[in-house]
Chains A and B, each alone.
Chain A
Amino acid sequence: MTADDGGRLSSLAKYVPGFLTASDDRPRWLDDLRLILLATAVVYLTFILLGLIGGLSINGITRELQAVTLLSASIALVVLALNLHWGYTGLFNIGIAGFMAVGAYTTAMVTASPDARIPGLGLSLWIGIPAGMIAAALVGFIVALPALRLRADYFAIVTLAAAEVIRRLYNSSSLDQFELFGIALGTGSGRGIRDFPNIRNTVSRHILYADPGGPSDPYPWGQLLFTIGEEFDLIAFVIERIVYTLFIIVLVILVFVLLTRTANSPFGRILKAIREDELATKSLGKNTNRVKIKAFMLGCAIMGLAGIVWQGSRGNVTPDLFMPIITFYIFIALIIGGSGSNAGGVVGAVLFAGLLFDGPPMVERAVNNLVDLPRTNTMNDALIGLANLDPEVFFGYVMVQMSSLRFMLFGIVLILLMIYRPDGVLGHRNEPAAAIDLRKQQAPDHEETNEVDETDE
């Protein structure tokens, strides 16, 4: 290693902590943005590299980048909501999938056509989406009201059970079709609801085309995107997806601002105090129950929104989209980033979606493109191969199993984080909760008071 290299490394070492720790002279949001962009860059570079090795076209790589961005943003939306519950308030909610289901199903039921197999109210998405969010918040209220005083682990079991109750109710054949106040409705039981607007297409086409019905007459900005797309040989379908992804990113930014404002306010100060010590907070005259319920309902509404624009955005909802495992995706993402920090949560979402969730299949593709591994389908064959000193057979099995192996990876990452980095990869991030930046506040006059120095205990 040359001296020059060493110098560069040390300057890099000085630079990276600059990213990772809050610095006093930089605004907080800029700090956060840098962190998020850094994580995104890591994921993008990995994907481009793996995509090139995997022999993907520009279209293919763009498609993969779009997919991982959409997944990251969708997960980030829920992670932010969970951070409000768990990170800021200490409410250990593991019923996320249930609140997402309520949002998605309510929107589907409100917007589905009254003449469909599973009839709905036939209203527009402008009503359907807020209705879904409100319904999720109300269900959150019903769950939280009695459960708020419970210990964290009991609260966890209650919320998980509530989510399963919700999913199984949607799955139940007794609610397949029913009448409420003379209006025909239904949840479609195991098959779910199909005949309601595909939100992904509706949103992106409304943004791109003057006439969303027939994708022929794009707005000027739509035309601009298509022209740029043509330069890179991107098909219209990919552009539409990119537009939807941008829409979700905008939602993430809005929610980020909303929740950061919530946290950095007297309201957020009470949330933080509740997390630290609820009795002490009560003893200072704060109605902690009311504050907790408000925070819980707000988080549930955002979870409902995520249910609508993520799992429920493909024009059909089924109970299987809301299995409890979804909840654990969100938890892993938040724990990676470190609970208690919105920026950390988004970073966690990007790293989880990019490296843990969508990464392994990319690796599989790249490896398969590089070496021609035999497709071994059972562990028995794999071990026989290994016994015959033919590791290719075994690795072939590993590649076939990659998509389920990543779940093992989730578990292992979660365990390692809890043992070694319970505060997340970014370490402990504690942001003062106030509407003004407390880190910069100084006492009004700087008269030297005789400081009480003491060394007891």
Chain B
Amino acid sequence: MKQMSDQLDLTVDGEGSTADGRNALLEIRNLRKRFGGIDAVDGIGFDIEPATITGLIGPNGAGKSTTFNLITGVYRPDGGTVRFAGEDVTGFRPNQLAKRGLVRTFQITRELNEMTVLENMLLAFKGQLGEQLYRSVLPVLRREVVEQEHELLASVWEILELFELDHLAHEEAGTLSGGQRKLLELSRALLTNPEMLLLDEPMAGVNPSLEQHLLERIHELHGEGYTFLLVEHDMNVIMEHCERVIVMHQGQILADGSPAEIQQNEAVIEAYLGGEV
């Protein structure tokens, strides 16, 4: 495994070089996580440039989800660093990261079941006045909170229309279909005003027409300058829509390059076809 990757010039080792002069938005260095004696993530490193769409792929158990969880603060890394927009954010909690503009969605959508689509969306805005308890309960101050709610609601309707979810606004999120939930999660994440979005299998369980819809939205947002990192099983999605693909295998980075390069890469083919070790 190690020797194999040594032969590949595509391989980025643990101490990956900083991208030539340009400022990376997300910099991962030598990230490690062990679970019960197994190196789930074994010293990986890569950079993500602003306004790019990068795909993270790999066979089952390659460590993609763990990597996501390490970057977004769900797990605390055993070693290595995560830098976001120049700041060392290693071991930060998810809420601290989200405040800085690093927002994720989940493989199994975590929409808030008993909350309506509108509630789900309203929740996402950062720094709402009414998040301060005293403002929400005190007579005069509450007026500002109510005003702000009306303003926020206007932007919610805009996004809901863009994502064609407006007809579901009053439904409880738990009653939505799988694809609608993915849309809800993505649109909700957008309302946090993120710099970068980490999407964990955004297409899983989404029917083809909705998948197209979702991908269009992602490209639109990419055009507006949002940065995407996505884990995805669907090779077509990755190869057609990502500018760059990172391949993980057994907790390490096996290959890193353009979709065309990855498709030619023997180690990658080996890893996918050669079966699990």
Contact = CB atoms under 8 A, between A and B. Distances in A.
Direct A–B touching in the complex (beta carbon < 8 Å)? yes
Interface of A: 258, 261-262, 265-270, 272-273, 276-277, 279-288, 291, 294-295, 298, 430, 432-436, 438-439, 441, 443-444, 449-452, 454-457
Given A284-B192, A454-B179, A456-B205, A435 B95 contact: no
Given A279-B110, A441-B169, A457 B123 contact: no
B83 interface: no
29 contacts: A262-B133, A265-B142, A266-B123, A266-B129, A266-B136, A267-B130, A268-B136, A272-B115, A272-B119, A280-B112, A283-B103, A284-B95, A284-B98, A284-B124, A285-B99, A285-B103, A287-B95, A432-B119, A433-B119, A435-B130, A435-B146, A438-B116, A438-B122, A443-B169, A444-B154, A449-B167, A454-B209, A454-B210, A456-B179
A326 B104 CA distance: 44
Contacts of A454: 177, 179-180, 207, 209-210
B160 A284 contact: no
Given A279-B74, A283-B98, A283-B106, 16 more contacts: A261-B137, A266-B128, A272-B119, A273-B112, A276-B112, A276-B113, A277-B113, A282-B94, A284-B188, A432-B115, A435-B145, A441-B118, A444-B154, A449-B161, A454-B210, A455-B177
Interface in B79-124: 93-95, 97-99, 103-104, 106, 110-116, 118-119, 122-124
Interface residues of B, number: 61
Contacts of B118: 432, 434, 438, 441
A275 to B, nearest CB: 8
B137 A258 contact: yes
A269 B121 CA distance: 11
B38 to A, nearest CB: 23
Nearest to B104: A283
Contacts of A272: 112, 114-115, 119
Contacts of A280: 106, 110-112
Nearest to A447: B161
Contacts of B106: 280, 283
Nearest to A277: B110
B98 A282 contact: yes
Nearest to A259: B137
A285 B101 CA distance: 9
A284 B209 contact: no
Interface of B: 72, 74, 93-95, 97-99, 103-104, 106, 110-116, 118-119, 122-124, 126, 128-133, 136-137, 142, 145-146, 149-150, 153-154, 157, 160-161, 164, 166-167, 169-170, 172, 177-180, 188-189, 192, 205-207, 209-210, 213
Contacts of A287: 95
Nearest to B72: A283
B119 A438 contact: yes
Contact of B95 (A282, A432, A443, A456): A282
Contacts of B145: 265-266, 435
A63 B72 CA distance: 61
Contacts of A456: 177-179, 205-207, 210
Contact of A273 (B123, B136, B150): B123
A439 B114 CA distance: 14
B95 A433 contact: no
A450 B167 CA distance: 10
Given A284-B192, A438-B170, A439-B170, A430 B136 contact: no
